[in-house]
Structure 1
């Protein structure tokens, strides 16, 4: 059967009756901690205004008697609504849909139908799948490549259809109706029951679909194709925005443009040139800084080597520096008979470390030093270096080295 949300996608409120309510668990979403699963109830209504996910379209959000609905899924001919509060079977309830989310989904879904139809009509580009994303939507086209000229032509034609205010209608056909075979679609789900729903854009497309759609292309406002990228198995992904998402995209882009204008102190038309110039300056500064850092490393190494304190365990920490800085010091100083312990980074945070010295000692002590500073590393031939998450514990690591050196000295 078709739900109320499919019979009238524009309805925002609806009264119905609770058929069933059973305890259930809402699994954690993708990327969430599995422990985030919630215990609640699956509520079945006589009919529903809330669309269950399907056809590439996410499910609706809304309320049943002001109780939030957190998920809507289809099970055969029924829709199940997950709530945290039980509802009494047989009770009359008022269902309200989150209209902003619903209308956004209607715009993106109808936009996908339009782009799919135009791409196939103009260039024979068939759609194999699509995804209604949170910020942008994508269509997978059965072609290894789609040119920029083709994208521009598709965008021009779909927006011409929108300006033509073409009506969009929904019909229901019986599953054995011969017309079903003539309608575009990717087949019916295995648990499909009842009539086949066909969404038609007048003079453009007829497609089997269970989703919610606009009743006129003018409600799409505008479509912007953001571009394409290579997909899987010789296919191409085309990314697009429809309706309100285009306005939101323009708003975000304008805000970024204003911020860049203030930072670069030039008009938007000069942003690219200003950034290119800035990149050149940064590269030159990085080159000069690297040269100075190398010179400093050589100077530090020679100072350490010439110091009366050279021998046993020698430790050095600098806030500024990198792994190359430490390796230059180790190379210049030499550490055949000395344990050289170098660290760079935030003294209270994370950073890098290097241990150089007699190969057998370094092989033994390197992993222990990393463990003390809650880091990890690797090494060979008298060097062990890596990352440390707690440089604040380098004094403990140094004490470990000194204990080892003292023990070896006593043995000698």
Structure 2
């Protein structure tokens, strides 16, 4: 079935009637997390909101002021997921989120154009594509594209845009001879109704269910951002079209201004300035690491030289890592001393190490990890891991002292 959104891609409002409304639930992204939402699948006599398909995401919009959160296709039906019921037979007024729709039209028609020119000029077939939230990716059946090929491809597609080439939509029956002549990856198993063909005049004819611009001039421009190595000896061509280019330019300029302010140098020297900073940071990190190692050795030696030292050594440092803690444990020795070391935030997250006699560490390690609300593992007298509640270090120290006293009593 061809929906109203496919017959009139530029139409933004539409009135129809409700055919069915069935309770269901859908997994949706809520505040960056997948959650199961209860609602209803509504089928209308016709639909102006496009259900996902052909590599194009679904539309968003409202029906009688009720937000439509997903639109999917099931056979000939477009299922609209809403959280409020709509009675069967009632009139429904639909409004499409036009900014999202037109963006998808630009990216999808842009993909058709790039795919066609890449095939015509280089013989590179498109094996799949993804219309992403910020940029789109076309998978080409070639191990790579040369810089001059990308330059030619971008120049040629933009020439077609400036020439205002029309884009036409045809609907034909499944047994029409034209179906066999156009570019296609085949019809889905549950396809119903006529076959839809998108024709870029003089350039390409392709079987497609998506929404498209009526003229290439509506794409405004196409920018090929680059090519990355893909799977199975293929290449991923990354591009943006239309309004996304304007948004991308705004973002790039904002970043450029911020970097100019931070680096105190013009855009032409940003890379050089960042490179110098990275080298300086590496040198400082190396020096810091050496100092931490020296500090670890000195800390251990100070404890060992203390005539009043006990059988428990505890230490917390905001700066440090696992190597810092292990150096201390190695220098002190763990045959007679129980060592509890932590690094990181004093109250929140960090790393911990419990080292000492094997039997005591095997017994106390999991309890220490639990008290710190962390995760850890150990063997051979070492138990270490990540802690999420460093504020309980004093409680751990008390536990260790009590365990040492009990151990001494048992030995006597």
Q: TM-score range by the shorter chain?
A: over 0.9
Unmatched 5+ stretches in structure 2: none
Q: Where does 1:151-190 land on structure 2 (aligned, <5 Å)?
A: 151-190=150-189
2:272 corresponds to which residue? 273
Q: Give the Cα–Cα distance (whole angstroms) in 2 for the partners of residues 93 and 327 of structure 1.
A: 69
> Greater CA deviation, 402-411 or 140-149?
140-149
2:345 corresponds to which residue? 346
SS in 2 for 1:37: strand
1:68 corresponds to which residue? 67
**Preserved CA contact (<8 Å) 1:199 1:209:** yes
2:205 corresponds to which residue? 206
Q: Give the Cα–Cα distance (whole angstroms) in 1 for the partners of residues 79 and 380 of structure 2.
A: 64
**Preserved CA contact (<8 Å) 1:19 1:89:** yes
- Relative to 1, partners in 2 of residues 1:374 and 1:41: Cα closer, same or farther, differing over 3 Å? closer
Question: What is the deviation of 1:20?
Answer: 2.6
Unmatched 5+ stretches in structure 1: none
Question: What is the deviation of 1:165?
Answer: 0.9
2:192 corresponds to which residue? 193
Q: Give the Cα–Cα distance (whole angstroms) in 2 for the partners of residues 76 and 280 of structure 1.
A: 59
Question: What is the deviation of 1:355?
Answer: 2.2
Q: Give the Cα–Cα distance (whole angstroms) in 2 for the partners of residues 46 and 162 of structure 1.
A: 36
1:322 corresponds to which residue? 321
- Relative to 1, partners in 2 of residues 1:288 and 1:156: Cα closer, same or farther, differing over 3 Å? same
Q: Give the Cα–Cα distance (whole angstroms) in 2 for the partners of residues 337 and 79 of structure 1.
A: 73
Is 1:24 paired with 2:24?
yes
- Relative to 1, partners in 2 of residues 1:25 and 1:298: Cα closer, same or farther, differing over 3 Å? closer
Q: Where does 1:13-412 land on structure 2 (aligned, <5 Å)?
A: 13-29=13-29, 36-412=35-411
> Greater CA deviation, 402-411 or 198-207?
402-411
Question: What is the deviation of 1:352?
Answer: 1.6
SS in 2 for 1:315: strand
Question: What is the deviation of 1:29?
Answer: 4.9
- Relative to 1, partners in 2 of residues 1:92 and 1:333: Cα closer, same or farther, differing over 3 Å? closer
Q: Give the Cα–Cα distance (whole angstroms) in 2 for the partners of residues 83 and 389 of structure 1.
A: 40
Deviations 1:259-286 (A, max 9, x none): 1111111111111111111112112211
Q: Give the Cα–Cα distance (whole angstroms) in 2 for the partners of residues 227 and 87 of structure 1.
A: 46
- Relative to 1, partners in 2 of residues 1:33 and 1:293: Cα closer, same or farther, differing over 3 Å? closer
Q: Give the Cα–Cα distance (whole angstroms) in 1 for the partners of residues 73 and 383 of structure 2.
A: 57
Deviations 1:341-379 (A, max 9, x none): 222221101112222222332233223222221223333
Q: Give the Cα–Cα distance (whole angstroms) in 1 for the partners of residues 372 and 24 of structure 2.
A: 46
Question: What is the deviation of 1:31?
Answer: 10
Question: What is the deviation of 1:26?
Answer: 2.6
**Preserved CA contact (<8 Å) 1:311 1:337:** no
Q: Give the Cα–Cα distance (whole angstroms) in 1 for the partners of residues 209 and 355 of structure 2.
A: 67
- Relative to 1, partners in 2 of residues 1:406 and 1:45: Cα closer, same or farther, differing over 3 Å? same
Question: What is the deviation of 1:338?
Answer: 1.3
SS in 2 for 1:10: coil
Task: State the aligned residue count.
Answer: 411
SS in 1 for 2:395: helix
Q: Give the Cα–Cα distance (whole angstroms) in 1 for the partners of residues 360 and 373 of structure 2.
A: 20
